[in-house]
Structure 1
């Protein structure tokens, strides 16, 4: 199967909403985010959502459809991340059990004191509810 990674055509956002509802109900793709999809045979198999702030990008979420998990599609999406970034840094918050996945895909752990202010407040909002989140950083390369 030929896989492609590209920007989601905004006309397909309602379709992506349906896919999220079936595969990752807590995720909510928004039109203001940059949405990158991985597809096979013109079927969306997964997506990553990126929000851009003045000084950085923020990977707000990533989803692979249930029946295709465990096939390295998430890694294939992240392998293409560099191509879709206009700024040097892309941050990600994830549950500790997912950190290893991101670390294998060129992210590094960083301390909260080293993230931009706009992300500190977001991290505080999430963790003040008792949720534990690791902070990871991806640095764009100039290839």
Structure 2
């Protein structure tokens, strides 16, 4: 399988909206964030959204299309992210069932008190109704 990882061309955002609706309905890609896509033969099969803050990135909305799941493509996408992360530190919030997946892909658990305020605000907003999430951190090895 010939895989490429690149930034999404903004003109393709409406197509990505449909992919998210079909494959990850709660994810909503926005034009004001960087989106990295995984493609095979010019067909998007996965993506992850990157929000840049002053001192870190926030990774959110990782999606692999349903027909391409269970092929380690999520791991492949995460392993290719370093060049797209110009800041040293990136965070993500995930359901506990996904924590080991991220840890296997170079993330580590982060304690609430050790993360930047921008991440605390997101964590608080997502968990205020009782949802359980883990905070994970990724240190860019290329910086």
Q: TM-score, normalised by structure 1?
A: 0.98
For residue 123 of structure 1, what is the aligned residue in structure 2?
A: 123
- Tell me, yes or no, if structure 1 residue 48 matches structure 2 residue 48: yes
Question: Is 2:23 aligned against 1:23?
Answer: yes
Q: What is the alpha-carbon distance in structure 1 between the residues aligned to residue 130 and residue 119 of structure 2?
A: 17
**Counterpart residue number, 1:80:** 80
1:110 deviates by: 1.0
| Inter-partner Cα distance in structure 1 for 2:82 and 2:37 | 14
2:136 & 2:56 partners in 1: Cα distance?
13
Equivalent position SS for 1:135: strand
User: For residues 19-75 of structure 1, what are the alpha-carbon distances to aligned partners after superposition, in whole Å with 9 as ceiling and x for unaligned?
Assistant: 101000000000111100000111100000010000100002200000110001101
Deviations 1:95-132 (A, max 9, x none): 00000100000000010001001111111111111100
Which secondary structure state, in structure 1, belongs to the residue aligned with residue 25 of structure 2? coil
Structure 2: runs of 5 or more not aligned:
none
**CA RMSD, Structure 1 to Structure 2 (Å):** 0.8
Distance apart, 1:81 and its partner CA: 1.1
1:142 Cα shift? 2.2
| Structure 1, unpaired ranges of 5+ | none
Q: TM-score, normalised by structure 2?
A: 0.98
Distance 2:67 2:12 in 1: 21
